[in-house]
Amino acid sequence: MRQYSTLEQRLLNEFQHGIPLTPNPWADIARQLGIYETTVLETLQRLQTEGVVSRVGAVFRPNRVGASTLAAMAVPQDELENIAAIVNQFVEVNHNYEREHRFNLWFVVTAADEEHLQEVLREIGAACGYPVLDLPLLDEFFIDLGFDLKWT
């Protein structure tokens, strides 16, 4: 099992929430940690390259900035990996995952506006050869995805 440095542990745990909303957030984080900004950036880049962190950035409430939807497709199991790779090529796709259901491939699409969102859904369907089920948000629930990481 990979051992995380004290710096990696602090970046992963302390900055899941509250990245400074300033012109230089990485410099501000570096100052709080007593290190150089380049060290923060290099460490985050390495964690992303290793697959420890999928992305670093703001998370906005759905449909507050642009338009977004949950989408699903029913894909034959033997094609699932290839179809997921096609879906992942669209920059508008935030994440993509398999579910145990007839609709077994689920993903979130975000675009600048509703028109572009619908265009992307059509393009994904055409590229994959399977219809895309659009599941727009009806009721909003807040789920905090931050976790207090325990380092043992």
Can you give the residue ranges of every domain in the chain? 6-49, 67-135
Q: Among residues 146, 139, 134, 81, which one has the least CA distance to residue 108?
A: 134
- Per the structure block, which two tokens stand in for 48? 């992303």
DSSP state of 79: G
At the top level of CATH, which class does the domain 67-135 belong to? alpha beta
Q: Please give the C-alpha separations between residue 27 and each of 18, 49, 60, in angstroms, as whole numbers.
A: 14, 21, 23
**The overall pTM is greater than 0.85:** no
d(CA 33, CA 45): 17
Q: For residue range 17-72, what is the model confidence (pLDDT) as tens digits? A: 778 889 999 999 999 999 999 999 999 999 988 888 877 776 666 666 688 999 99
Residue-wise pLDDT for 61-109, tens only, equals 666 668 899 999 999 999 999 999 999 999 999 888 999 999 999 999 9
